[in-house]
A and B are shown apart, each in its own frame.
Chain A
Amino acid sequence: MAGTDRAVEIELIRGAAQAFAEQARTDALASLVARGPDWDKVMDRAEFHGTIPLLRQSLSRLPQAIVPASVQQALAERCRDIAATNLLLTSRLTRVCAALERAGIRVLALKGPTLAILGYGELSLRQFNDVDLLVSPADLSDGLETLRHLGYEFAYRLTPSQQRHYARAMGQVPLHDARGTLVELHTSLTDTAYHFPLGFDDLWSRRQPVVLHDHTVSSLGNEDLLLYLAVHGTKHGWPCLGWVIDLVQLIARNGSTDWPRLLHRAIAMRCRRILLLSLWLARETLGLELPEAITQACRADRVALRLADERHRRLLDAGDGESGFALARFHLRSRERLRDGLTHVWTTIFSAHLSDWQAINLPSGWEFLYPVARPLRLALKYFRPTVQRE
């Protein structure tokens, strides 16, 4: 990991995100542009962090002469691609939701287009590449049948037994159509070994409508969505600045967050530290203003502060990916209850995952050997960095 001076390229990406959020700070952004960044690196990092649209939006507010014409053109082309992809995925989402609803299946849209509208007010400012939908576990079978009628099949080459195991363990079924559109049908917000007890019926009772091109779909209520983003980001080690921006944008656009209730709910679900480290990370990285009570709660949890600082430095230092061992350590420390962290890490080590089935195809009836084969295979990766990104 880099030590001292932070690269101007990543500071420019962060500056563009801050300029977008605050509709200001263009002078700070202009100063960063004046330092002559390597624009190839800027584009590469912005792509990785999912912030190309925000970068273009913020740079468009500067005097055009200071940004090279070739960069403006490249950004414009990429933004057109992103907009088209987002439109296509949105149309897929509304079509699938309509089909599920006709079949009498309650469905909640997660992230993707609905988060783009809730957090940014429009579809084009957020990058996404799949459709995530949540249904009740009792509706999974009917939901899969509905999607099969629409032309969606299981996205990976797995046996029926492996598919069932995948769905149980991961809490979701990945499907794709003939054009490669990926739809993930979830029955829980996280995989089953990661403690986050928000059931479908509770989420449904607090749902909110989101209008997507004259279609109305249901999505998580703002508080549930905030908690979900904190958990989702923490589970993956906060690899992308775009995910932190999502959190900041959602809070900013929903000015009426009931912070005491949110913290109380997080405590009840044993996700307090996850919430606090996520909010502190957003504060340190993008200047999110937190109410005094939350700031005090963060400062009272030194582990949360250290974890947020660690993730902040990792986000902004253009280092290599993170080893599985380092991520496991982060997971253990991010839970206020040790057992929750240990359960997740234990399952990560000993339960067969997609990568195991794809690497070692054991015949039917011999799946009991995966809990032995997996840790051996993982041991080879512990000291090799991996990029954790969904």
Chain B
Amino acid sequence: MADPDLFDRRFVKPSDVLVQELVGEAVLLHVKRGHYFGLNEVGRAVWKELMTGIPLRQAYEHLLTEFDVPPEQLQQDLTSLVHDLLSHGLLEDARA
């Protein structure tokens, strides 16, 4: 599994981030930085899983059953998405 350490981690929403669900997607807004990030249907499902407090690995296993995506593809997409969210301050490590 790519980046196993990442997949053992849990994440939380920073207090400066607001979320709004739309039709089939979601918008994350970083209030202080003033920029927003759109999540498509899969991204929104990832976000919802992560917000339950489970490790990324467990979220990955849930999503494998929900979406018809090759496991390697899902791992890469999750890794990329989580890194993007962390770099934009839209996600925080729960240990922080």
Q: Which residues of A contact B (CB under 8 A)?
A: 56-57, 60, 76, 79-80, 83-84, 86-88, 90-91, 122-124, 179, 213
CB-CB contacts below 8 Å: B22-76 with A: 22-25, 27, 29, 31, 34, 36, 38
Considering only CB atoms and an 8 Å cut-off, how many residues of chain B contact the other chain? 13
- Kindly state the separation between the CA atoms of A124 and B27 in the bound complex, as whole angstroms: 10
Main secondary structure, interface of B, reads: strand
Task: Give the contacting residue for A123; candidates B20, B25, B34, B38; CB below 8 A.
Answer: B20
A91 touches B18 (CB 8 A): yes
**Given A80-B36, A80-B38, A179-B34; A88-B29 close (CB under 8 Å):** yes
Q: In the complex, what residues of A have CB within 8 A of residue B27's CB? A: 80, 83-84, 87, 124
14 A-B residue pairs with Cβ-Cβ distance under 8 Å, sorted by A, are A56-B23, A80-B25, A80-B27, A80-B36, A83-B20, A83-B22, A84-B20, A84-B29, A84-B36, A87-B29, A87-B36, A88-B34, A122-B20, A179-B34
Q: In the complex, what residues of B have CB within 8 A of residue A60's CB? A: 23-24
Chain B nearest CB, measured from A73 CB (Å):
12
- Kindly state the separation between the CA atoms of A122 and B19 in the bound complex, as whole angstroms: 12
A213 touches B18 (CB 8 A): yes
- Kindly state the separation between the CA atoms of A123 and B22 in the bound complex, as whole angstroms: 10
B23 touches A57 (CB 8 A): yes
A79 touches B31 (CB 8 A): no
Q: In the complex, what residues of A have CB within 8 A of residue B22's CB? A: 76, 79-80, 83, 124
Q: 6 tightest A-B contacts by CB?
A: A84-B36, A87-B29, A83-B27, A87-B18, A83-B20, A91-B31
- Kindly state the separation between the CA atoms of A179 and B23 in the bound complex, as whole angstroms: 29
Q: In the complex, what residues of B have CB within 8 A of residue A213's CB? A: 18
- Kindly state the separation between the CA atoms of A22 and B25 in the bound complex, as whole angstroms: 23
- Kindly state the separation between the CA atoms of A275 and B25 in the bound complex, as whole angstroms: 39
Chain A nearest CB, measured from B25 CB (Å):
7
Chain A nearest CB, measured from B39 CB (Å):
10
Among the interface residues B22, B24, B34, B38, which one has the most CB atoms of the partner chain A within 10 A? B22
Chain B nearest CB, measured from A112 CB (Å):
15
Task: Give the contacting residue for B31; candidates A56, A76, A83, A88; CB below 8 A.
Answer: A88
B34 touches A87 (CB 8 A): no
Chain A nearest CB, measured from B40 CB (Å):
10
Q: In the complex, what residues of A have CB within 8 A of residue B31's CB? A: 87-88, 91
Q: In the complex, what residues of A have CB within 8 A of residue B34's CB? A: 88, 179
Q: In the complex, what residues of A have CB within 8 A of residue B36's CB? A: 80, 83-84, 87
A124 touches B20 (CB 8 A): yes
Q: In the complex, what residues of A have CB within 8 A of residue B24's CB? A: 60
Q: In the complex, what residues of B have CB within 8 A of residue A91's CB? A: 18, 29, 31
- Kindly state the separation between the CA atoms of A85 and B41 in the bound complex, as whole angstroms: 21
Q: In the complex, what residues of A have CB within 8 A of residue B38's CB? A: 80
**Given A87-B36, A91-B31, A179-B34; A79-B18 close (CB under 8 Å):** no
Q: In the complex, what residues of B have CB within 8 A of residue A86's CB? A: 20
Q: In the complex, what residues of A have CB within 8 A of residue B20's CB? A: 83-84, 86-87, 122-124
Q: In the complex, what residues of B have CB within 8 A of residue A84's CB? A: 20, 27, 29, 36
Chain A nearest CB, measured from B28 CB (Å):
9
Q: In the complex, what residues of B have CB within 8 A of residue A76's CB? A: 22-23, 25
- Kindly state the separation between the CA atoms of A60 and B20 in the bound complex, as whole angstroms: 17
Chain B nearest CB, measured from A85 CB (Å):
9
- Kindly state the separation between the CA atoms of A43 and B68 in the bound complex, as whole angstroms: 34
Q: In the complex, what residues of A have CB within 8 A of residue B29's CB? A: 84, 87-88, 91
- Kindly state the separation between the CA atoms of A184 and B25 in the bound complex, as whole angstroms: 32
- Kindly state the separation between the CA atoms of A56 and B23 in the bound complex, as whole angstroms: 8
- Kindly state the separation between the CA atoms of A98 and B23 in the bound complex, as whole angstroms: 31
Which residue of A is nearest B40, CB measured?
A76
- Kindly state the separation between the CA atoms of A137 and B13 in the bound complex, as whole angstroms: 39
Chain B nearest CB, measured from A283 CB (Å):
29
Which residue of B is nearest A57, CB measured?
B23
Chain B nearest CB, measured from A119 CB (Å):
16
- Kindly state the separation between the CA atoms of A84 and B90 in the bound complex, as whole angstroms: 14
